Homo-oligomer: A and B are copies of this chain.
Amino acid sequence: MAMSDLRKGPFHLTNTLTRRKEEFIPLRPPHVGLYVCGPTVYSDVHLGNVRSFLTFDVLYRWLTHLGYKVRYVRNITDVGHLVDDIDEGEDKIAKRARLERLEPMEIVQKYTNGFHDVMRLFNILPPSIEPTATGHLIEQIEMVKRIIDSGFGYEANGSVYFDVPRFSEHHAYGELSGRRIDELLANTRDTEGMAEKRSPLDFAIWKKADPIHLMKWPSPWGEGFPGWHLECSAMSTKYLGRTFDIHGGGMDLKFPHHECEIAQSVAADGIAPVRYWMHGNMLTVNGRKMAKSEGNGFTPEELLTGNHKLLEKGYGAMTVRFFMLQCHYASTLDFSNAAMQAAEKGLERMMAALSTLDKLRATGSDDAGVAALEQRCYDAMNDDLNTPVMIAELFEGVRLVNSIHDGKIAIDPNGLDRLRTLFRTLTNDVLGLRQEQRPDTDDRTLDAMVQEFIRMRAEAKARKDFATSDRLRDQLASWGIILKDTKEGTSWERA
């Protein structure tokens, strides 16, 4: 165990490569290398994407909290991701550029900005490095060369393919996703690019570009662009080394994307790239998978405004965050209005307890069970990031806070300090929760209250009670509200 605070216990996580919960032992403590597959920036992020990034945000926050120095790399896919997710069809970004009549890099910028806005909204921390596929073409070309040199890649008509059958003769292709070469072969259909490939299982690591293609670069095999799987291998190797600690992504990326990443690294550098693979599960809506084609993949903006047929009302970003954290990352999570409204109330109770904590006074002679509560919270998080159990423990804490506030339970000063630290650390730093921002609502409330004071002042004036009317004006001024009397009535502004 790397950390000094042994009470916190070792951290375990489910390694989807071994399908077992394992103790996490980093290669070079206190450093941890973490790579997470980021978005392909060709469309707006939907809520299912948010869940995946949130999972790894909590992992990053928890490892950091435990004292690890995490180098967290999350990429931006800005080239090479084809429409059908395999080797045929148009590049997703090039297609969108054609539809929006923009240069592909304008599409990349627009949706990268949008992605960052959504991450900020949900308080998902930025990674240490956010590399782009187009920013690492030389590294990708060098990796293709190494794969060809190792005998597991071949050129055909200006493209370069990864030779899956030959690779699987020497290495375990399919280990991560539990697929077998013979089954995969039985299930493949013929595709356009087949003529060039020796086997339908082979995948492109470099694709020849059509003359009209906008996103292309010179290479030893002519003008082209990298295959989708290659970027993650090249960038994780560059920033985290040939083998690193944790690789994360959504479950849908296990095959072919992550399987191909492993094959590429083993072929190029002779070593398995990742020690712990971690996959987040899906978000469903009323029991059905969230997807644009289903019409249920609502955007964060629709969620906040409630402007979608499946939404009874709008929900705040922190409510959504809290809702998602009440489910374990490896389980599917179903989005429903009832669950969201329950989460809204739960978050409010937790935030109210945080305020109440400030007002408590220590009058007792023991810690009222805080040390044991703390241990249970740490045990939950160290058990494969079990946020729902940890949140349930925090609600025990909420009850304790309220009982102390009501004078039913007494706590000593050390216990109270520890309770405050525990609550703030776990809710704000680890779960990344904060008070919901509602500036518009507050603006309306503020105005309504000022209008009421203006009305009371007018009443006082009408009955010639100038002492009261002046007092009200001065009181408002002391709060930074300046009244202006005109012949059309009284208005106000901030001082």
CA distance A199 to B446 in the complex (A): 69
CA distance A448 to B134 in the complex (A): 54
Is residue A113 contacting chain B, with contact meaning CB distance below 8 A? Answer: yes
Residues 200-225 of A, flagged 1 when their CB comes within 8 A of B and 0 if not, give 00000000000000000110000000
A interface SS class: helix
> Which residues of B are found within 8 Å of A439, using beta-carbon distances?
439, 442
Number of copies: 2
A109 close to B129 (CB less than 8 A): yes
Contacts A448-B479, A449-B446, A486-B406 known; A103 to B132 CB distance under 8 Å? no
B-contacting 9-mer, from A135-143, A250-258, A322-330: A135-143
Is residue A193 contacting chain B, with contact meaning CB distance below 8 A? Answer: no
Is residue A146 contacting chain B, with contact meaning CB distance below 8 A? Answer: no
Interface residues of A in 66-109 (CB under 8 A from B): 71, 103, 105-106, 108-109
Is residue A375 contacting chain B, with contact meaning CB distance below 8 A? Answer: no
> Which residues of B are found within 8 Å of A441, using beta-carbon distances?
480, 494
Is residue A131 contacting chain B, with contact meaning CB distance below 8 A? Answer: yes
CA distance A116 to B109 in the complex (A): 13
**Nearest CB in chain B to that of A116: its residue:** B116
Residues 334-375 of A, flagged 1 when their CB comes within 8 A of B and 0 if not, give 000000000000001000100100010000000000000000
A405 close to B486 (CB less than 8 A): yes
Interface residues of A in 424-443 (CB under 8 A from B): 438-439, 441-443
Is residue A305 contacting chain B, with contact meaning CB distance below 8 A? Answer: no
- Cβ 8 A contact of A127, one of B109, B127, B218, B494: B109
CA distance A352 to B441 in the complex (A): 21
Residues 107-145 of A, flagged 1 when their CB comes within 8 A of B and 0 if not, give 011000100100000000011111110110110001000
- Cβ 8 A contact of A446, one of B128, B134, B442: B442
> Which residues of B are found within 8 Å of A154, using beta-carbon distances?
none
Is residue A487 contacting chain B, with contact meaning CB distance below 8 A? Answer: yes
Interface residues of A in 454-481 (CB under 8 A from B): 475, 478-481
Is residue A151 contacting chain B, with contact meaning CB distance below 8 A? Answer: no
> Which residues of B are found within 8 Å of A438, using beta-carbon distances?
494
| Interchain nearest-CB distance for A45 vs B (Å) | 17
**Nearest CB in chain B to that of A127: its residue:** B109
Is residue A452 contacting chain B, with contact meaning CB distance below 8 A? Answer: yes
- Cβ 8 A contact of A475, one of B452, B487, B493: B452
B137 close to A109 (CB less than 8 A): no
B113 close to A126 (CB less than 8 A): yes
> Which residues of B are found within 8 Å of A348, using beta-carbon distances?
493
CA distance A116 to B443 in the complex (A): 27
- Cβ 8 A contact of A142, one of B218, B452, B478, B479: B218
A129 close to B106 (CB less than 8 A): yes
| Interchain nearest-CB distance for A349 vs B (Å) | 10
Contacts A406-B486, A442-B442, A494-B438 known; A239 to B134 CB distance under 8 Å? no
> Which residues of B are found within 8 Å of A475, using beta-carbon distances?
452
Contacts A218-B138, A452-B475, A494-B441 known; A126 to B103 CB distance under 8 Å? no
A132 close to B135 (CB less than 8 A): yes
| Interchain nearest-CB distance for A80 vs B (Å) | 14
Is residue A30 contacting chain B, with contact meaning CB distance below 8 A? Answer: no
CA distance A348 to B480 in the complex (A): 14
Contacts A450-B449, A479-B445, A486-B406 known; A129 to B103 CB distance under 8 Å? yes
> Which residues of B are found within 8 Å of A132, using beta-carbon distances?
132, 135
Is residue A453 contacting chain B, with contact meaning CB distance below 8 A? Answer: yes
| Interchain nearest-CB distance for A217 vs B (Å) | 5
> Which residues of B are found within 8 Å of A452, using beta-carbon distances?
475
Is residue A270 contacting chain B, with contact meaning CB distance below 8 A? Answer: no
Is residue A29 contacting chain B, with contact meaning CB distance below 8 A? Answer: no
**Nearest CB in chain B to that of A133: its residue:** B135
| Interchain nearest-CB distance for A164 vs B (Å) | 28
A137 close to B138 (CB less than 8 A): yes
Is residue A407 contacting chain B, with contact meaning CB distance below 8 A? Answer: yes
CA distance A287 to B488 in the complex (A): 46
CA distance A103 to B488 in the complex (A): 64
What 6 pairs between A and B have smallest CB-CB spacing?
Answer: A135-B135, A448-B479, A445-B479, A105-B129, A449-B449, A106-B128
